[in-house]
Chains A and B, each alone.
Chain A
Amino acid sequence: MNMRFKPGDRVRVRVGSPPGHFRTPLYIQGKIGAVERVHGDYRNPESLAYGGDGLPKQPLYLVRFPQSHLWRTYAGAAQDQLLMDIYEHWLKPA
């Protein structure tokens, strides 16, 4: 496994709408978070969705975002977090 990021690293989610199927919701694109956990390598759903083999596998990360950074009107507590699984090709260093 050749992981680009490790737990604690700050990452920014790429912005984009590639044609077809992708699993990075629009609401998280462009946001900055921190790697919470490294899940391992998984086949790429953008290829699997169309009968492809999903290779090369992509490292998959659990990334943590402060809720107050996601929503301007967030009404919860300051420490609340949103965690999301994101494939490495959707992340860049922040």
Chain B
Amino acid sequence: MREDHHDKPHAPDHPMTEFEWRVEAVQALLIEKGILAADEVRRQVEEMDDRSPALGAKVIARAWVDPAFTARLLADARSAILELGIDFRQEAALVAMENTAQVHHVVVCTLCSCYPRGLLGYPPDWYKSLNYRSRVVVDPRGVLKEFGTELPTTVEVRVLDSTADMRYLVIPARPAGTEG
């Protein structure tokens, strides 16, 4: 381990864990071998830090007031979102699913933490927790209730387990009384 990594600029304020040391070591090696530049790493981190649910909210707000946009969003999410000037630069494909009075979607990645990061930023910790990932597939209504969403038995609950190349964006139903 090279000494100059002890006082890197954004060192966490807690003792480094084994994983953090490992990341440091791998990164130092990649830079030393000329595979990565320190600047590229910093740029990527900054770009990711820039992403937040505000981007997703902008997309949903447009969908709520523009049915033609919603149709395009459902048909080809990436192109529709580009119309708003948002290039979420995600390798994986994005698929939008619409909540209605009849259908309610909930997204999980039981295998890891797949999430539309380019559009919503880092996944929240609960999304990555074993608790959420294992329970929401078996008891989606119970888990949704813990989030304050209680669904009548007439609604169809659709759990989307994003196991592969697709990232899912749910278009929530527009709340009543939000017109004008």
Contacts and interface: CB of A to CB of B under 8 A. Distances in A.
Contact of A77 (B137, B155, B159): B155
B142 interface: yes
B140 interface: yes
Contact of B163 (A67, A70, A80, A84): A84
B164 A42 contact: yes
B165 A76 contact: no
Size class of the contact patch on chain A:
20 to 34
Interface string A58-94: 0010100001001100111101111111110000000
Interface string B45-81: 0000000000000000000000000000000000000
Interface string B128-140: 0000000001111
Given A25-B111, A76-B139, A77-B153, A83 B93 contact: no
Interface string B146-176: 0000000111111111111110000000000
Q: Is the interface of B mostly helix, strand, loop or mixed?
A: mixed
Given A27-B137, A76-B139, A85 B157 contact: no
Contact of A84 (B140, B161, B165): B161
B31 to A, nearest CB: 20
Contacts of B142: 75
A76 B141 CA distance: 6
Interface in A34-75: 39-40, 42, 45, 60, 62, 67, 70-71, 74-75
B166 A85 contact: yes
A6 B153 CA distance: 30
B165 A81 contact: no
Interface string B90-115: 00010100000000000000110000
A87 B163 CA distance: 10
B112 to A, nearest CB: 9
B155 A24 contact: no
Given A80-B156, A80-B158, A23 B139 contact: no
A83 B160 contact: yes
Contact of A82 (B137, B141, B164): B137
